[in-house]
């Protein structure tokens, strides 16, 4: 059974710090990796996708992928209180396959 593991948190960081969110996955054939942000009472919103080993940067967000270690992370630089949300890691084998979601990490950015 495919699994995506995340620490449920909450992860508390002070405003302006770097928040580091981690995720491991069990299926070695996974090809596509995603981070979703979900504010309380709202639906998940896609914020990053990554497909190859290394780093991918988009504004204050950096996704990091290490397929050998089956590990994907999300760094949020200069964390803001508005970043406080639950972050879901998701993994897909590629193509027309359903995505497997982790249980999410709750991030709290303290002003």
Partner 1 sequence: SAVISQKPSRDICQRGTSLTIQCQVDSQVTMMFWYRQQPGQSLTLIATANQGSEATYESGFVIDKFPISRPNLTFSTLTVSNMSPEDSSIYLCSVANQETQYFGPGTRLLVL
Residues that bind partner 1 (CB under 8 A): 31-32, 34, 36, 42-46, 49, 88, 90, 92, 94-99, 101-104
Q: 8: closest CA among 21, 27, 25, 26?
A: 21
Is the CB of 17 or the CB of 31 nearer to partner 1? 31
Q: 108: closest CA among 57, 40, 45?
A: 40
Is the CB of 42 or the CB of 77 nearer to partner 1? 42
Please list the helix, strand and coil fractions of the chain in percent, rounded to the nearest 5, in that order. Answer: 5, 55, 45
The CB-of-81 to partner 1 minimum distance in angstroms stands at: 21
The CB-of-103 to partner 1 minimum distance in angstroms stands at: 4
Q: Tell me how far apart the alpha carbons of residues 74 and 32 are, in angstroms, rounded to a whole number.
A: 14
Q: How far from each other are the two terminal CA atoms of the chain, in whole angstroms? A: 40
Is the CB of 13 or the CB of 99 nearer to partner 1? 99
The CB-of-101 to partner 1 minimum distance in angstroms stands at: 5
Is the CB of 58 or the CB of 78 nearer to partner 1? 58
């Amino acid at each position: 059974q495919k699994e995506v593991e995340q620490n449920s948190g909450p992860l508390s960081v002070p405003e302006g710090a770097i928040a580091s969110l981690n995720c491991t996955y069990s299926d070695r054939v996974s090809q596509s990796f995603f981070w979703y942000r979900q504010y309380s009472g709202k639906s998940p919103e896609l914020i990053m996708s990554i497909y190859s080993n290394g780093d991918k940067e988009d504004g204050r967000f950096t996704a990091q992928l290490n397929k050998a270690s089956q590990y994907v992370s999300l760094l949020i630089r200069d964390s803001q209180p508005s970043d406080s949300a639950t972050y879901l890691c998701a993994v897909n084998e590629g193509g027309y396959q359903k995505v497997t979601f982790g249980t999410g990490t709750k991030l709290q950015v303290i002003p």
